[in-house]
Structure formats: C-alpha cells, structure tokens
C-alpha cells in the first residue's frame, strides 16, 4: 500500500518536472503510463493506429499544459487515463460507423503493431494496481459489471446500453451507480 503512495508521489514529481519543461520527466511519465493508456484507447476504439494517435494527443496535451493537472482532484494516473478515455470515447461517438467496419480487421492490426514495436516499456509497480482493479471488478455482481464495462471499455453511453440490452434507462443508471459505489469503496475510499 505504501508503494502506491510512493508511486503517486513520484508521478506528481514528474508532473512538476514537466512544468519546468524537463523532457526526461516527460519521458518518465510516458514510459510509465503510455502502455496502459494505449491499452485503454485500443479497447475503446479497437484500432491500433487510432489508439496510438489518441495516446500521442493526450501526452502532447500534458506536455503543452501540465498545469491542467490539479493534485487536489486526484491521482496523476487517473487524470491521464481520464484524458485518454475522454478522447477515445469522443472519437468512437463521432466515428461509430467507422469503428464497426474497422472491428473486423482490428485484431490483425493489433498483431501487426506488436510485431513492429521497437521497445517494450516496463510498468514498474503497475501489476499490483492491475491485480487490485481486476479483483474489484470481479467482486461486482455480473449485471453491474456488464454495464460498467460496456460504458467504460466499449465507450457506450447510458442510452446506447439501454438500447443494446433492452434494459430500462433507469436500470442502467442504477446499476452503474451501484457498481461504481462498490468500486469506489474498493479502489479509492479504502486506500490508505
């Protein structure tokens, strides 16, 4: 648990470095979070080259305006992933039809991209975070988990989920709230 605090402290130090235009600090934060950011973008947009662009755009925004990060409002990692997720969802909503056609070839593109990767970036300390998040998700009732995963990982809006599942909109909303309350308790509130 202490490791998480230390990791967050280091992240904030890196953001401070970026504010001083320290390129090494930027590379440090990129190396730490770009692999997770790309995974998130890829999951939402389902295309490797689009995911790459989203990640680059998010990190470019970070470099250009690091003051946008407010340490009173949460961790660096959640802020970064929020930026990536917002961009990915925005793209999906605008390019829904584009995405549907692209899904068919997404796996090929992903494999190709992996083959051509020049370097694998280590994510120090993040496997523990991944274990915690997965465990928290696994603890959710399936109905709540499904709604959350569709909304976050598939980029679907509450209305789209209601339409796709046949559930009343109110049910989608209440399941989202209940699931998020549980996750918040597991991942945020009980964190030392």
Partner 1 sequence: MTRDHTVIEELLAIRSLGGLDGDDVGLLERELASHGDCEECRRLASEYDETAGRLAFALDPETVDMARADEILQRANHPATQAVVPPPVAAPVNELEERRGRRSRSGPALVAAAVAVLLVVSAVALFGPNRSTGVQASTDQQVVGFTGDAGELAMAYRPGEPGALLLGSGFADPGADKVYAIWMLQGSTPVSGGCVRPHDGSIVAFVDADLTGTDQMAVTVEPASCPSAPTTRPVLVSDPLVA
Contact set for partner 1, span 144-163 (CB under 8 A)? 148, 151-153, 155-161
Task: Provide the total of helices (H) and of strands (E) in the chain, helices listed first.
Answer: 9, 0
- The nearer residue to partner 1, 16 or 25, going by C-beta atoms, is 25
Interacting positions 122-141 with partner 1 (CB under 8 A): 123, 126, 129-130, 133-134, 137
Residue choice 7, 14, 30, 46 for contact with partner 1 (CB under 8 A)? 30
| By CB under 8 A, residue 3 contacts partner 1 | no
- In the set 3, 60, 112, 164, which binds partner 1 (CB under 8 A)? 60
CA 123 to CA 159: how far, in whole Å? 36
Element at 103 (helix H, strand E):
helix 96-116
Calculated CA dihedral for residues 29, 119, 49, 104, nearest 10 degrees: -120
Least distance to partner 1, CB of residue 118, Å: 5
Min CB(192)–partner 1 separation in Å: 15
Is residue 165 within the footprint of partner 1 (CB under 8 A)? no
**Which of the residues 77 through 96 are near partner 1 (CB under 8 A)?**
77-82, 84-86, 89, 91, 94-95
CA atoms within 13 A on the CB side of 128: 8
Please choose, from the candidates 51, 21, 16, 47, the residue with its C-alpha nearest in 3D space to the C-alpha of residue 37.
Answer: 51
Distance spanning both ends of the chain, measured CA to CA? 7
For residue 143, state whether it binds partner 1 (rule: CB under 8 A).
Answer: no
Closer CB to partner 1, 2 or 97, in the complex:
97
């Amino acid at each position: 648990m202490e490791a998480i605090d230390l990791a967050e402290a280091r992240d904030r130090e890196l953001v401070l470095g970026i504010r001083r235009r320290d390129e090494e600090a930027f590379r440090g934060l990129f190396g730490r979070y770009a692999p997770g950011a790309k995974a998130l973008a890829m999951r939402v947009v389902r295309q490797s080259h689009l995911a790459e662009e989203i990640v680059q755009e998010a990190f470019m925004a970070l470099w250009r305006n690091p003051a946008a990060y407010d340490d009173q409002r949460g961790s660096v990692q959640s802020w970064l992933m929020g930026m990536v997720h917002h961009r990915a969802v925005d793209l999906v909503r605008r390019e829904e039809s584009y995405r549907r056609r692209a899904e068919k070839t997404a796996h090929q593109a992903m494999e190709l991209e992996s083959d051509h990767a020049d370097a694998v970036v280590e994510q120090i300390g993040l496997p523990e975070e991944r274990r915690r998040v997965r465990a928290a998700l696994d603890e959710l009732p399936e109905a709540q988990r499904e709604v959350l995963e569709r909304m976050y990982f598939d980029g679907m809006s509450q209305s789209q989920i209601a339409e796709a599942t046949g559930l009343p909109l109110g049910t989608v909303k209440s399941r989202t709230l209940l699931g998020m309350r549980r996750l918040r308790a597991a991942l945020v509130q009980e964190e030392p």
